[in-house]
Structure 1
Amino acid sequence: MTANRLLLKFARRSPRLVILTTVLGFSGALFNGISTALVVPVILGYLGQSAGTQSLPGPLKKILDLTGAQGDQQFLVLMGFVLLAIILKNAATYAGELTSARLTQTLTTGIRNDGLKMLLDVDLEYYSANKIGDIVNQMGGEIARTANSIKCATQIATTAITILVFLGILLTISWQLTLVSTSLLAMVSVANQFFIRKAKRMGQKLSSSSANYSIALLETLSGMRLVKSTGQEAAQYRQLSHYVNERELAERQSQTNYAIVNPINEVSGILVVLTIVITGKVLFASQMAAPTLLLMYLLTLFRMLPSIGRINGLRSQFANTAPSVQVVNAFLRYDDKPIMAQGKTPYQPITQGIQFQNIWFKYPTSQDWILRDVSLNLPKGTTLALVGSSGAGKSTLADLLPRFYDCQEGGISLDGQDIRSFDLPSFRKSMGIVSQETFLFNASVFDNIAYGCENVSFDAVVSAAQRANAYEFIEKLPEGLDTQIGDRGVMLSGGQRQRLAIARALLRDPDILILDEATSALDTVSERLVQKALDELSRDRTVLVIAHRLSTIQNADQIAVFDRGEVVEVGVHDELLARKGLYAKLYNMQFGETVAPAGADMTVEPPAVEPPAVEPCC
């Protein structure tokens, strides 16, 4: 779809503003043309030459005749017409500028809101497949350039109306001269196509270089600790500087291309005027009013030429920003993005439990199965722990429960009802998730704990913090609960961040709890405090826990051992140790009760299982 059609699609969102902008543009152009056409007769009338009024265009002469003015009265009437036309022209132009600006702002705001909604509607799969820097660039720079494109389009439309009105006036003065001048100006516009095509290519280059810069900058800022710790400041500076220079070069080339349009238009305009003077002298040689007609025609043409130059410049600008319009349109599309299908059944608290039935799952970008025929049962009010080596599929199974992804085969049911039938927001609100990588906003402690809970009271937040063993350190912060904790909670330790996440989950009072290696990155003291908070959080809840440290899940009601995407053992701690299988080997590796030979393979080869020949359920 071309940029023109895309902008028309956006413009349909505000039809009233589009119509009003068009009407005001036409009105301003009409009054501008009338005032211009009347200037020469007024000057000639002032000099006492009656030919001034006789040479008026037909429609204006009829209006003047209706007034019944004669002699000096005609001069006064013409003066009044000129003054009124100038006032109305400026009033219409002022209102048109305001309306055009309002239209541009409305469409730009609508596009930004559409982008925000799309980003919140798509699945996590979209963020796995796209770079955050590219997304930020599209929401920022590309939409800003699209806004400029919208502004150019509205200015092109109003300028085109002005040109058409002036052409109409020129036709009433002399259709022969208008035919000549139009042909010459058309040739100039065709010549400008070279610069317009060049502007489009430069716009594509500018869009690409802006995306590269945004991606590199965001990655550098996000990984600043790594940059500092490895002494890569100079290397990162060179990389970012390269992208900055690349972008500035593209910008400079675009500006150079745009700057050459106006001189070409001005020189071409002078040549057109000289041609019209020569042609007019030949055409009007036998007419008494020839000087007046030619002067009126040239004055009107002079008033039109800046609009011709302006529209050519705007076309160049529009071509330069048009690639961004197409980028934004692709960004806003839903049909090529992963959107999680939602059910309509409101979530109801668990009465029986959660069943994982023959789960097969692989990521869209992978050919390998991450989970293979996984079947587990998690009764209400119990804890199911998932253990195994990294990459065994534990976190993937946990991600399927809140439907961050859907399985390709098999399914998950809650009290016998497929979780895909539940309304997604209400279903996810029933869960509390505490992971190893806790995310905190650059906001106050209070706001981070209360996130996701509406109209929460101060006492409720304090109670949640106390139950999470967090209130003691919160009281020592400079402003207590009102303390700003920095980007991602940088002002806090790892254990403190985890306890805030637990307080957040406690405040939500979830029916289902998912703990994803919540203590694996903590020191012994912090782990003990966090584990006490987790025990409080897990009380009387249905819990799915992923554990790296086996000491934290010895009291779990069930332990499922994963290896290469399959469940190879299920049981309680003592039972699994007695089997002397993979769980026992993992336990011995951690606690040193049995020393494994160096380089020994500590995994159990899973039985070969082929996926069932059934249609995908998700």
Structure 2
Amino acid sequence: MKKGSIALYKRMLVYLTVYWQWFLLSILLSFFVVNFEALSLWFGASLIQTLFEPANASMVRPEFSINNINELLKYWTYQAIKRDSPFESLKVVCGLMAVTFFLKNLLIYIKALVMAKLNLVIVRDMRNQLFDHVLRLPVSYYDRTKSGNIISIILNDVQSINASMTGTFDKLFVEPMRLIFFIAMLFIINAKLTLAVFIIFPVLGYCIGAIGKSVRRRSKRSLEYMAGLISILHETIGGVRVVKMFNMNNKENTKFQNENDRFIHHSYKSTTIGAISSPLTESLGVVVVIILLWYGGREVLANGTFRAEDFVRFLIFLFSTFTPLKALGAINNTLQRGFAAAERVFDVLDQSEERLIFLKPENVPVFNKGIKLSGVGFKYPGTEKAVLQDINFSIDKGSIVALVGSSGAGKSTILDLLPRFYDINSGSITIDGRDIREIDLAGLRELFGIVSQETVLFNDTVYNNIIYGMPNASKEQVISAANAANALEFIEKMPEGLDTIIGERGVMLSGGQRQRLSIARALLRNPPVLILDEATSALDTESERLVQAAINNLIENRTALVVAHRLSTIRHADLIIVLESGKIVEKGTHEELIALNKKYKYFYDIQFASSAIEAAT
């Protein structure tokens, strides 16, 4: 493996070392498996002597030396199996072979259970760590990354890493152990013939390495196309109503099929290249075996210097080396697929996290005076254009401040800066004179409650959606919050009331009902500062009336920063700020801005005219 691959593999093994006891047990079981396998092969070769040449079996113990190890092993074998008749000796050989095969396979089964346990706990730990890390990544990461790609990494890539790790680390010990053991036996039986075997090893190594490199490259592409497939699925299923309404079934189907075809194409290429490894290894090995058969057979038939029993035993062990050789070739391909997945997983894990720790009450900042933005400038990461320039205003405690402007003026960006979803590039944002960059992130966000145009609800009960963020709230508090949010009436009409499952993203509810549940959740949390981002812009008139009434209950005696689409909802704001191209162009009360007769008056007149037309029709 190359240096980069070794570094990746070390990082992968960190998850395995936590359960080192289980892995050590697996290695120990593997050691016994190899030994019993070798014993069964050795006893199998002893059939030649037992059946055909029992009289030639050496019953004199040879002196110990390197050259005599083969004879010494054969002597001990004969001592173990030698009986009064060949038939009795045959029974002993068959019995020993049966016992060794049974024990080998029993240990293989136990080892498989151990590795299955390792496999499951490692997948669990890796996914848990990755999911926890993903939740700690800044909002900027989500803005530039497809959600389908994140899902694919957590589900598919982690599985690929685990298959690579648990499927190879055990074999990286077992297969070389088997290979070394078998080759050692070959040297013991006939060193000259064994040396000839090593001629093929460098060729095999080069072929396996070249194939593995190509498999890794194509596996990474396959994973990327799988992420693309999941992204298309996520977007299409999430927006299925739009797809159906615009009759875009065929277009979405074509897009999915094209991406799926690309995934299949690269997966097949990866499999095609990987599949050649095993037959190539075996074919090269067979060439060597044919040469050895010719040479070894001549030694047995012509010179008599190589006994038939030794030659058969040599061939048995030689053919047995093919299995670990083929396995090592397959291991390399599996490793390369795992490395391709590991690069993507560790790329996510190497992303800088937000400095977000568990919330401690003492870390929640004091909020007695207000929030101040001084000379704030901001541009999104990776871009050159400034989104906000020299923003200056204050939000006094208990006041309502509204942001108004055209689409793209920077209103929602300001809302993202307060809870530090993004950090400013210049200037400062302070709470009671303290820079928010010096405040604990979890404590800072505890100050804010958010109700946005895009309501986020979960596939859970109404009750659990309301208490999200406040798990210890009582049922009475939940009912009170729902009532204040004008949500209790429709909740009581639902089949199971508060215990009704509302579907993914609250799909079982209307837009106004979803928004009122979101307001109930904010009311229950009772945050010092509320952020309202065009909370009524997507609602019909009746829903808007109910939601606006709920919002009025929500912001009563509370500090609020509001982005409003309908100016009628912010007429009573203490301060209205008009933004244009990332700059403040006007600020004041509703009356002051109307009297100023500039941008705000223009917006107001447009909406007033539209309302008058609607009323007339």
TM-score bin, normalised by smaller chain: 0.7 to 0.9
The residue correspondences of 1:412-431 to structure 2 (distance < 5 A) are: 412-431=429-448
Q: Does 2:140 correspond to 1:125?
A: yes
Judging changes above 3 Å, is the alpha-carbon distance between structure 1 residues 53 and 447 closer, same or farther for their aligned structure 2 residues?
Answer: farther
Q: Does 2:30 correspond to 1:25?
A: yes
Which residue of 72, 83, 91 corresponds with 2:83?
72
Q: CA deviation at 1:294?
A: 0.7
* Secondary structure at the counterpart of residue 183 of structure 1: coil
| Equivalent pair of 1:29/1:162 in contact (CA under 8 Å) | yes
| Equivalent pair of 2:200/2:285 in contact (CA under 8 Å) | no
- The runs of 5 or more residues in structure 2 that have no matched partner are 63-67, 613-617
Paired amino acid for 1:213:
L
Q: What residue is the counterpart of 1:6 in the other structure? A: 8
Q: CA deviation at 1:472?
A: 0.3
Percent identity reads: 34
Q: Does 2:157 correspond to 1:148?
A: no
Question: How far, CA to CA, are the matches of 2:478 and 2:611 in structure 1?
Answer: 46
Paired amino acid for 2:145:
N
Q: Does 2:199 correspond to 1:178?
A: no
Paired amino acid for 1:5:
A
TM-score (norm 1): 0.87
The residue correspondences of 1:325-340 to structure 2 (distance < 5 A) are: 325-334=342-351, 337=352, 339=354
Residues 429-475 of structure 1 show CA distances to partners (whole Å, capped at 9, x for unaligned) of: 23210011111112221121111112332222111111100010111
The residue correspondences of 1:325-474 to structure 2 (distance < 5 A) are: 325-334=342-351, 337=352, 339=354, 346-474=363-491
Q: More displaced, 545-554 or 182-191?
A: 182-191
Q: Does 2:234 correspond to 1:232?
A: no
Judging changes above 3 Å, is the alpha-carbon distance between structure 1 residues 540 and 70 closer, same or farther for their aligned structure 2 residues?
Answer: closer
Q: More displaced, 401-410 or 3-12?
A: 3-12
Q: Does 2:75 correspond to 1:58?
A: no
Paired amino acid for 1:10:
M
Which residue of 553, 560, 566 corresponds with 2:577?
560
Q: What residue is the counterpart of 1:279 in the other structure? A: 295
Which residue of 595, 598, 612 corresponds with 1:581?
598
Q: What residue is the counterpart of 1:116 in the other structure? A: 131
TM-score (norm 2): 0.87
Q: CA deviation at 1:43?
A: 5.5
Which residue of 475, 479, 499 corresponds with 1:482?
499
Residues 224-248 of structure 1 show CA distances to partners (whole Å, capped at 9, x for unaligned) of: 2332222221122112111122222
Q: CA deviation at 1:557?
A: 1.8
Q: What residue is the counterpart of 1:163 in the other structure? A: 179
Residues 532-568 of structure 1 show CA distances to partners (whole Å, capped at 9, x for unaligned) of: 1111111221111111211111112222222222223
* Secondary structure at the counterpart of residue 392 of structure 1: coil
| Equivalent pair of 1:170/1:297 in contact (CA under 8 Å) | yes
Residues 498-519 of structure 1 show CA distances to partners (whole Å, capped at 9, x for unaligned) of: 1000000011111111111111
Q: CA deviation at 1:289?
A: 6.1
Q: CA deviation at 1:321?
A: 4.5
Paired amino acid for 1:11:
L
Question: How far, CA to CA, are the matches of 1:565 and 1:14 in structure 2?
Answer: 51
| Equivalent pair of 2:209/2:332 in contact (CA under 8 Å) | no
Residues 131-186 of structure 1 show CA distances to partners (whole Å, capped at 9, x for unaligned) of: 11222222222222222222442354122222122112222212212111232355
Compute the RMSD of aligned alpha carbons: 3.1
Judging changes above 3 Å, is the alpha-carbon distance between structure 1 residues 167 and 101 closer, same or farther for their aligned structure 2 residues?
Answer: farther
Q: Does 2:310 correspond to 1:293?
A: yes
Q: CA deviation at 1:269?
A: 3.7
Question: How far, CA to CA, are the matches of 1:33 and 1:77 in structure 2?
Answer: 17
Judging changes above 3 Å, is the alpha-carbon distance between structure 1 residues 94 and 417 closer, same or farther for their aligned structure 2 residues?
Answer: same
Q: What residue is the counterpart of 1:204 in the other structure? A: 220
Q: More displaced, 184-193 or 289-298?
A: 184-193
Q: What residue is the counterpart of 2:534 in the other structure? A: 517
* Secondary structure at the counterpart of residue 198 of structure 2: helix
| Equivalent pair of 1:199/1:319 in contact (CA under 8 Å) | yes
Q: How many residues are aligned here? A: 593
- The runs of 5 or more residues in structure 1 that have no matched partner are 596-618
Which residue of 98, 101, 116 corresponds with 2:113?
98
Question: How far, CA to CA, are the matches of 1:61 and 1:3 in structure 2?
Answer: 44
Q: What residue is the counterpart of 2:41 in the other structure? A: 36
Judging changes above 3 Å, is the alpha-carbon distance between structure 1 residues 564 and 99 closer, same or farther for their aligned structure 2 residues?
Answer: same
Residues 185-223 of structure 1 show CA distances to partners (whole Å, capped at 9, x for unaligned) of: 553454445544443343233223323322333222233
Question: How far, CA to CA, are the matches of 1:594 and 1:519 in structure 2?
Answer: 16
